Amino acid sequence: MTSTETATSEAVPTQTDGEPPVDPDALRDEVKAKYREVAEQPDGDHHFHTGRKLAAHLGYPAEWTDDLPEFAIESFAGIANPFALRQLEPGERVVDVGSGAGFDSFVAAGLVGGDGYVVGVDMTAEMLTKSRRNAEELGLDNIEFCRGFAEELPVQDDWADVVISNGVINLCPDKRAVFEEISRVLRPGGVLQFGDIANGNNIPPGAMREIDLWTG
């Protein structure tokens, strides 16, 4: 099986027709709780790697991370490198869906430069507080962080040249709604580039209803 065949099998947890396999509000609460922990205790007991070590493992070039202070990268909890298949261009306008403590947004802000702009969107208050503080300490003026959901982005129609995301869409029960919302904010010809998980083995329907499987 090739990597493409594997990745096109099923996202984890997968989309189902009809009712979501888990209660969306309960899932949102669980995800917020998990990422509140990542914001406040980046070296805590998480089921995934975090921080600078994770960025290196996922293939982020050292020149993007070496100069970043620890506070700007310690809560990074991505799944893959959303810049692996296409690098951002100077001047582009970028939305980061589920921006967390801001690491991917900071990378994006550096790549698009002063003529570009980055809007990070996250639903977790502790992550927003941290990302805003980090941006201020980094002295970035081409970036802002807003509260919002992947299904309801606080961005006007056709604004973005690029939407990035990392390890977020798999946590949304209605992925179709997320992709449709992202298309609303992308200009015609705009690009969605994201990192996320995919599974080669099917997940039993019973397991799909376990919120713990979604968040850990």
Partner 1 sequence: MMLEETGYVDVEIGEPVDTFAGAPGEEKARIYDVYGYPFRAVWPG
Contacting residues toward partner 1, per CB under 8 A? 3-4, 6-8, 11-12, 15, 45-49, 57-59, 78-86, 158, 167, 175-176, 179-180, 182-183, 186-201, 203, 213, 216
Provide the minimum distance between the beta carbon of 188 and partner 1 in the complex, in angstroms, as a whole number: 2
Per-residue CA distances from 26 to 29, 129, 156 (Å): 5, 23, 28
d(C-alpha 127, C-alpha 73), whole Å: 12
Q: Between residues 84 and 125, which has the closer beta carbon with respect to partner 1?
A: 84
Nearest to 192 by CA among 170, 167, 161: 161
Instruction: Please say which residue, 49 or 209, places its beta carbon nearer to partner 1.
Output: 49
| Cβ distance to partner 1 smaller for residue 139 or 205 | 205
Which residue lies nearer to partner 1 by CB, 104 or 135?
104
- Nearest CA among 187, 52, 157 for reference residue 107: 52
Measured from the CB of residue 207, what is the shortest distance to partner 1 in angstroms? Answer: 9
Pairing of strands 117-122, 93-97: parallel
**Amino acid in position 121:** V
**Which is nearer to partner 1, 108 or 128 (by Cβ)?**
108
Minimum CB–partner distance for residue 205 and partner 1 (Å): 14
Q: What is the DSSP letter of 41?
A: -
Give least dist CB 39 to partner 1, A.
18
* Cα–Cα dist 94/107, whole Å: 11
- Are 20 and 172 in contact by the 8 Å Cβ rule? The answer is no
We find the least distance from the C-beta atom of residue 30 to partner 1, in angstroms, to be 15
Distance of alpha carbon 60 from the chain centroid: 15
